[in-house]
């Protein structure tokens, strides 16, 4: 009886330990989910819900982008506002300085004479160099009348330029011979408005007689549009020469020289750094003249020999036709040489 009573507590103790082990094992296992909960956690979500979330993300990104863009614009506006304010202040100070010269006059020195009492205000207002000179002069206490040196130019051209600046003349009223000088004076004194206007006139006046000089002018003053247009005119003139009936009468050397000139012109037109200088034009024109002279002498000999023939046979008529054709070719060569001398005069 005593042993049975001792075993009962041990059995109960073992049963309690086993029960605790089962509880611990069940705690380690995942909880069982019902079907609806599993669908919510694992099945495909409703497309409308996904679209809403995607739309919210896009809206959020768009708002962030707009905020950054607005911030950037505000920064730029602040920076440029400062610069614009500084530029306005600078222009206002410049205008104030110019206005102070309303009753000031200068002397302009030309190649021929001195043009006295030219109003400083319009000259300084439109010519950056004159403004700089006048501003620098104000730093000194000199009472002498300011002199502007334009000794490279003739009086007539300088007077035309001054007339344009002070408003006494319009550009289309100045002498045609003064347009190039006015362009050079405007470039030297940094008057951009007159440079542009004179270049427009020169672009409309390019021809065989002046394209070479205009090309050189454009090269010196770095006027790209005029430079390209004048060179293109020269290029086209040489192209017309190849199409001319006299081309076959030119020597091989002349044809090669023409090809070299064409290549130089073409490279100059398409290059910002290449400049065309005709170092052998005198020799080219001399060879051209020799070719023309040679054909003239052959024609004269043919005429002389044919003149001694008294017979009026069919052969005589054929020779006469050949002489007339050769005479027309020589006349064409003479005309072409004349044009080439105009084109490449130096």
Q: What is the dihedral sign for C-alpha 201, 230, 180, 176? A: negative
| CATH architecture for segment(s) 101-205 | 2-Layer Sandwich (3.30)
Per residue in 4-35, pLDDT (tens digit) is: 555 555 655 666 666 565 555 555 555 555 65
Strands (E), 4-120: 105-109, 114-119
Domain boundaries, the chain: 101-205, 237-346
Per residue in 32-45, pLDDT (tens digit) is: 556 566 656 665 55
Per residue in 202-233, pLDDT (tens digit) is: 999 999 888 888 988 988 898 989 988 888 88
Q: What is the dihedral sign for C-alpha 212, 217, 219, 225? A: negative
Structure tokens given for 72: 């950037």
Query: What average pLDDT does this structure show over 324-336?
Result: 87
Query: Which SS3 state, helix, strand or coil, does residue 46 take?
Result: coil
DSSP 8-state symbol, 148:
E
Structure tokens given for 243: 């199409």
The angle formed by the CA atoms of residues 148, 216 and 346, to the nearest 5 degrees, is 110
- This prediction has a pTM of 0.64
Q: What pLDDT does 162 receive?
A: 96
Residue 294 has pLDDT above 60, yes or no: yes
* Band of residue 63 on the pLDDT scale cut at 50, 70, 90: confident
């Amino acid at each position: 009886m005593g042993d049975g009573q001792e075993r009962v507590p041990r059995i109960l103790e073992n049963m309690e330990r086993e029960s605790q082990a089962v509880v611990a094992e069940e705690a380690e296992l995942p909880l069982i989910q019902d079907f609806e909960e599993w669908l919510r956690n694992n099945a495909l979500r409703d497309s409308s819900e996904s679209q809403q979330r995607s739309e919210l993300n896009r809206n959020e990104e768009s708002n962030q982008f707009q905020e950054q863009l607005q911030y950037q614009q505000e920064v730029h506006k602040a920076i440029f506002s400062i610069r614009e304010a500084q530029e306005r202040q600078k222009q206002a100070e410049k205008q104030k300085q110019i206005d102070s010269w309303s009753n000031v006059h200068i002397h302009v020195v030309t190649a021929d004479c001195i043009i006295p009492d030219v109003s400083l205000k319009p000259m300084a207002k439109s010519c950056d160099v004159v403004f700089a000179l006048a501003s620098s002069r104000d730093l000194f206490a000199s009472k002498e009348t300011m002199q502007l040196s334009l000794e490279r130019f003739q009086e007539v051209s300088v007077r035309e330029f001054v007339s344009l600046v002070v408003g006494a003349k319009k550009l289309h009223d100045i002498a045609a011979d003064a347009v190039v000088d006015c362009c050079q004076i405007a470039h030297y004194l940094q008057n951009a408005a007159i440079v542009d206007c004179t270049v427009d006139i020169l672009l409309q006046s390019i021809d065989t007689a002046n394209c070479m000089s205009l090309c050189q002018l454009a090269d010196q003053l770095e006027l790209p549009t005029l430079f390209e247009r004048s060179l293109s005119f020269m290029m086209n003139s040489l192209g017309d020469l190849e199409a001319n009936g006299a081309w076959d009468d030119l020597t091989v050397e002349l044809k090669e020289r023409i090809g070299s000139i064409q290549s130089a012109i073409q490279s100059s037109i398409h290059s910002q750094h290449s400049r065309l200088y005709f170092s052998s034009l005198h020799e080219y024109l001399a060879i051209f003249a020799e070719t023309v002279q040679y054909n003239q002498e052959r024609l004269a000999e043919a005429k002389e020999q044919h003149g001694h023939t008294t017979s009026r046979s069919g052969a005589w008529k054929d020779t006469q036709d050949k002489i007339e054709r050769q005479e027309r070719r020589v006349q064409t060569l003479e005309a072409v040489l004349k044009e080439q001398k105009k084109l490449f005069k130096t």
